[in-house]
Structure 1
Amino acid sequence: MDPTALQLVKGLILRMSTDKIPKLLNTWGVLSESQLKKISFEKSKETVAQQISNLCEERRITIEDAAQLDIIFSFVHSEKKNWDVYQMTKQQGGEVDISDVKDFKWQFKEHLQKLCINRVMVTFRECGDALWIRIAWGTHYSKPNQRKATYAVYHSQTPYVFISSLPRKHQPFLCQTYQAYHPKSVREKNAAPVEDPRIGRENEEGRERVRKMVLERLGEGPLPKLEFAQYKLETAFVDESGRGILADRTDVPFQCVVKFTSPNLLEAIKSTVLLEISDVPPSTLLTSITQKSRNYFRVTGRKGPLPSTSGF
Structure 2
Amino acid sequence: MENITRRLLQRVVRRFPSQTLRATLDKWERLSEAQRRSLDLSKTKWALTEKLLSICEVCDTFGVWISGVSRVIYVIDNPNQGMWYAFQLLDPKDDAHSVDLTQFKQQFKCHLSQLMRHVSIKIKKHTDEAVWIRIAWGDALSRPDHLKPTYVVYYLQSSHVFMTSLNSKLKPLLSQALVLSTRHRGMKDANLSGRNLTAITDLLMKRYQQVFPTKYPTPLAEKNEIESHPHIEREQAGAAAKRQQMACEAFGGGVLPQLQSAVYKLETRFKDHTNKIMTEREEPFRCVVKFSSVNLLESLRHCASSGIASTPVTPLLSSVPLKGRNSFVITDNGRSPSSQTQQSQK
Name the TM-score, length of structure 1 as normaliser: 0.55
Unpaired segments ≥5 residues, structure 1: 200-312
Which of 187, 192, 207 is equivalent to 1:183? Answer: 187
Partner of 1:77: 78
Q: Distance in 2 between matches of 1:103 and 1:167?
A: 26
User: Displacement of 1:162 after TM fit?
Assistant: 0.9
Alignment pair present for 1:102 and 2:106: no
Q: CA deviation at 1:4?
A: 5.6
Structure 2 CA distance for aligned equivalents of residues 155 and 80 of structure 1: 20
Q: How big is the alpha-carbon RMSD for the aligned residues of Structure 1 and Structure 2?
A: 3.1
**Alignment partner of 1:120 is 2:119:** yes
Distance, in Å, in 2 between the alignment partners of 1:134 and 1:106 is 15
Q: Secondary structure of 2:169's partner?
A: helix
Does the CA-based 8 Å contact 2:56-2:62 persist in structure 1? no
Name the aligned partner's letter for residue 104 of structure 1.
F
Distance 1:157 1:179, change over 3 A: closer
Cα distance between partner residues in 2 of 1:110 and 1:123: 13
Q: Take 1:4 and 1:70, find their aligned partners in 2: how far apart are those partners?
A: 19
Q: Determine helix, strand or coil for the equivalent of 1:53.
A: helix
Q: What percent of counterpart residues are identical? A: 27
Residue of structure 1 equivalent to 2:57: 57
Which digits, 9 at most, give the CA deviation of each residue in 1:70-89, with x for residues without a partner?
21122222211111111223
Whole-angstrom CA distance in 2 between matches of 1:4 and 1:158: 40
Please give the alpha-carbon distance, in whole angstroms, between the structure 2 residues aligned to 1:6 and 1:132.
27
**How far apart in 1 are the matches of 2:114 and 2:64?**
19
Distance 1:105 1:147, change over 3 A: same
- Which shifted more, 48-57 or 187-196? 187-196
Aligned to 1:172: 172
Name the aligned partner's letter for residue 83 of structure 2: N
More helix by proportion, 1 or 2? Answer: 1
Letter paired with 2:70: L
Q: CA separation in 1, counterparts of 2:23 and 2:100? A: 30
Unaligned runs of at least 5 residues, structure 2:
193-322, 335-346
Matches within 5 A, 1:1-312: 6-66=6-66, 67-91=68-92, 99-116=99-116, 118-128=117-127, 129-156=129-156, 158-180=158-180, 181=184, 182-187=186-191, 190=325
Aligned counterparts of 2:329 and 2:171: Cα–Cα separation in 1: 27
Partner of 1:254: none
In 1, the alpha carbon distance for the partners of 2:332 and 2:112 equals 37
Q: Matched residues in 1 for 2:3 and 2:122: separation?
A: 18
Q: What are the Cα deviations for residues 90-142 of structure 1, in whole angstroms up to 9, with x where unaligned?
A: 2469xx667511111111111111112x3212111112222111111111111
CA contact (8 A) 2:151 2:165 kept: yes
Aligned length: 197
Do the aligned partners of residues 147 and 34 (structure 1) sit closer, same or farther apart at CA in structure 2, a change above 3 Å counting? Answer: same
- Inter-partner Cα distance in structure 1 for 2:24 and 2:38: 16
- The normalised TM-score by structure 2 is 0.50
More deviation, 167-176/38-47? 38-47
Q: 1-side partners of 2:2 and 2:130: how far apart?
A: 29
For 2:4 and 2:20, the matched residues in 1 are separated by 23
Rounded to whole Å, the distance in 1 between the matches of 2:90 and 2:60 is 42
Conservation of the 8 A alpha-carbon contact between 1:5 and 1:61: no
Q: Distance in 2 between matches of 1:8 and 1:75?
A: 21
Greater shift, 14-23 or 106-115, is seen at 14-23
- Contact (CA 8 Å) 2:89, 2:179: kept in 1 or not? no
